[in-house]
Amino acid sequence: MAEATVKPWGETTVVGKPTPRIDAYERVSGKAVFPVDVILPNMLYAATLRCPHPNATVKKIDVGKAREMPGVHAVLSDADPEARAVGWYSPPAGATQMMSRLFDPHCRYEGEEVAAVAAETQQQAWDAVRAIQVEYRTQPFVIGMEEAMKPGAPLVHSGSNQVAAPREIKRGDVAKGFAEADVVLEETYRTSTEIQAPMEVHGSVARWDGDHLTVWDTNQGPFGIQSGIAKALNMPLSKVRVISSYMGGGFGSKQEAGKYSVIAALLAQKTGRPVRLFLTREETFLCVGNRQSHIMKLKAGVKKDGTLTALELTGLGEIGAYPSNASVGYQIGDLYKCPNVHTQELMAFIHAGRQRAMRAPGYPQCNWALEQMMDSLAEKLGMDPVELRLKNISTICQLENKPYTSTGLRECLTEGARVFGWKEARSRPKGDGPWLRGVGVAGGMFGEQFGPPATAIVRLNADGSVDLNIGAADLGTGTKTVMAMVVAEELGVPLDRIYVENADTGTTPYSRVSGGSKTVFGDSPAVRSAALEVKARLLEMAAEDLKVPQSDLVFKDGAVTAKGGKKLTIADLVQPRTRQMVVGVGRRDPDLVDKIVRPFATHFAEVEVNTRTGEMRVLRLLAVQESGRVMNLLTYRNQVQGGVLMGVGFATMERRILDSTTGKMVNANLHDYKIPTAKDVPAEVTVLPIDPHDTECSLTGAKGVGEPSTIPTAAAIANAFYNATGIRVTTSPITTAQILTLLAERKAKG
């Protein structure tokens, strides 16, 4: 089904309407079986022994006592050849890719895997883990990125703590740009390490059937997990099946195969029984990835009229003990029109758990710097911050020198300012203490909207019900619902007669990992295309049966009607042919070659700050999102609210704390590591979708909304804080402790 022959939707009946999730009942009633709920007959429970030191070598390991513990069926460590046979590859970072062992004798971070046990019960497995005796040789460690880059710092790997070559964006001539500027500002911004805390902890259940391995795993895309496991165990993909039809949340740390999956598989092989290995919440804090802390030195030049002339960024990111990608430069190069740009980014190894992509990886950090800088520039110029941004909007992607299919940033700013009451709020008195009020704004964009191939299969049953088969995982965002709505829109089938089979490498066609806000963008066109093929087939069949040209037929509400009024239902068409179903297969068209697809956002925040107690409250947050077509207004709003809340966490509380004397994480639990709870939700969160009617970006017109919704929140809050207090907070999060310190410093300075 070529895109050219298909019209974009005009008025829609189903798509766009606020629609509860098709599996809402299963989700809220506990009927849905998530991987963590999978219980197989004869299943064993596993637990992992993890290194308690940030840098240590296993000198000696004695599993003898553990093996004799009650209920224990197997202990696995680096002493076992099957474990040593596993090559564990880090993701490539530039040209750097590293291989370690499954149980690497050199443990480079607190929590690295040392051994694992499978036993009849979870408690017996933990008891046995505690009975394993290990002699460690501890070594000096480094846990700060600036320290790590200093000569003589303890090395995480041989050579240097610098990960890969520096990343660079270079456009125009920044020296010339700064020379042309009327105002030049420079500031260093810092962000803290955030931990991923999805509702469902990471883990797998592994079962062998002969030489076929099935893994129930909580992840964002079973195909990537399948690849990872197959590579680690040196198996063909066709013998590894990964199922994650339900999964309990993922923000990036569930994109790669985890060692737990492979450990579960090896223990299952060793014992001849299915094995369940799920991490504890505490383990996830150490091992499954984080949003890296970043240091960003940003210099910006602007003319009196607000025109940006130059942006220069020097960045350093804290990558953890193994390579990963942690670039932040994208928005510097592309959010605003700027002829002269230079970014230089380094990443540093430290002796701590690894960074992994986390909801818009790099974007909130960069936004924290860039959008506070824009605020400072506006103040210096005496311009309204909204005006300054409007002044610098680009309708072309400068990094690729191609136009955007749609650029909603302008409308996000203007519509947002109108709905928020920006001007009025800016001009209101701040208050006369101790509570001061302020408002802030931040723009944002997300840059990953290319799309890989996706295939969808729509099976229309003879009774008019539908099975939709897609590879994509549903992270809880409502993917299944949106895809079912696309089918409902095209075929007129009610949503409760559409069953979605998804995210099972054994049974569904390839879809990319649900990350990069690409699921609706990449898969919904394939689903529409499959539904259109079914419709075309029905029209063909009806034309044959009624002996009229297809042009005289209309498909509506699950039936084909001819000009004269003759009507054939799906059953009329499908059953006489002894067909149980009509199968339609849809594929996403290749990426556009001459245009670029990007979602945009602008957030407006209002805060109040108590200058006596240091308390800050986010009073209201308006999230204006331009993500193309709104597919489901309800889940769109939900997803943006979630993004905002995560932004509030980034702005106000989340921070991994490593102890400088032991190198250990001191807040590796949900009591000491704070994430926003119901109490921390801004009193008012408003979601304002901007729909540019983008008919070019895809067959459905939708871009992605998951990540753009969390990008500008923190900077908008920081700008509102500044507006309220006159204090610029360059280091996230803006905690009460930091506020009190900054207030005290200002007082001290007089």
Residue among 137 and 577 whose Cβ is closer to a copy of itself:
577
Q: Which of 342, 359, 512, 655 binds a copy of itself (CB under 8 A)?
A: 512
Q: Which of 81, 543, 106, 587 is nearest to 321 (CA)?
A: 106
Distance CA 706, CA 624 (A): 13
Residue among 234 and 427 whose Cβ is closer to a copy of itself:
234
Q: Does the footprint of a copy of itself cover residue 581 (CB under 8 A)?
A: yes
Q: How far is the CB of 348 from a copy of itself (least distance, A)?
A: 29
Distance CA 534, CA 493 (A): 12
Q: How far is the CB of 197 from a copy of itself (least distance, A)?
A: 27
Q: Which of 149, 230, 335, 653 binds a copy of itself (CB under 8 A)?
A: 230
Interface segment toward a copy of itself; rule CB under 8 A; list 285-293, 573-581, 613-621, 686-694: 573-581
Q: Does the footprint of a copy of itself cover residue 212 (CB under 8 A)?
A: yes
Burial 320-337 (b: 16+ CB within 10 A, else e): bbbbbbbbbbbbbbbbbe
Dihedrals phi, psi of 116, to nearest 5 degrees:
-150, 155
Contact pattern for a copy of itself over residues 457 through 496, marking x by CB under 8 A: x-x-xxxxxxx-x--------------------------x
Q: How far is the CB of 212 from a copy of itself (least distance, A)?
A: 7
Tokens (6 digits) for 217: 């795993």
Q: Does the footprint of a copy of itself cover residue 223 (CB under 8 A)?
A: yes
Q: Does the footprint of a copy of itself cover residue 453 (CB under 8 A)?
A: yes
Distance CA 148, CA 141 (A): 9
Interface segment toward a copy of itself; rule CB under 8 A; list 206-214, 283-291, 305-313, 555-563: 206-214
Residue among 27 and 674 whose Cβ is closer to a copy of itself:
27
Q: Does the footprint of a copy of itself cover residue 499 (CB under 8 A)?
A: yes
Contact pattern for a copy of itself over residues 11 through 40, marking x by CB under 8 A: ------------x-xx--x-xxx-----xx
Q: Does the footprint of a copy of itself cover residue 121 (CB under 8 A)?
A: no
Interface segment toward a copy of itself; rule CB under 8 A; list 187-195, 358-366, 450-458, 728-736: 450-458
Q: How far is the CB of 235 from a copy of itself (least distance, A)?
A: 9
Helices 713-725 and 363-381: crossing angle in degrees, nearest 10, is 30
- Sign of the four-CA dihedral 743, 745, 747, 749: negative
Residue among 23 and 127 whose Cβ is closer to a copy of itself:
23
Distance CA 592, CA 598 (A): 12
The SS3 assignment for 428 reads coil
The edge-to-edge listing of strands for the beta sheet with 600-610 is: 435-445, 600-610, 616-626, 684-689
Residue among 177 and 516 whose Cβ is closer to a copy of itself:
516
The SS3 assignment for 707 reads coil
Residue among 435 and 510 whose Cβ is closer to a copy of itself:
510
Residue among 123 and 507 whose Cβ is closer to a copy of itself:
507
Tokens (6 digits) for 717: 């809050």
Question: How many residues does this entry show for the chain?
Answer: 750
93 in Cβ contact with 325 (< 8 Å): yes
C-alpha 185 chain-centroid distance: 32
Residue among 12 and 507 whose Cβ is closer to a copy of itself:
507
Q: Does the footprint of a copy of itself cover residue 619 (CB under 8 A)?
A: no
Is residue 420 classed exposed, middle or buried when 0-12, 13-18 and 19+ CB atoms within 10 A define those classes? buried
DSSP 175: H
Q: How far is the CB of 237 from a copy of itself (least distance, A)?
A: 4
Scanning 154-198, the segments in alpha helix (DSSP H) are 174-180
Q: Which of 151, 152, 236, 429 binds a copy of itself (CB under 8 A)?
A: 236
- Sequence-separated (6 or more) residues with CB below 8 Å from residue 551: none
The residues binding a copy of itself (CB under 8 A) are 23, 25-26, 29, 31-33, 39-41, 209-212, 223-224, 227, 230, 236-239, 241, 452-453, 455, 457, 459, 461-467, 469, 496-499, 501, 504-510, 512, 577-581, 583, 585, 587
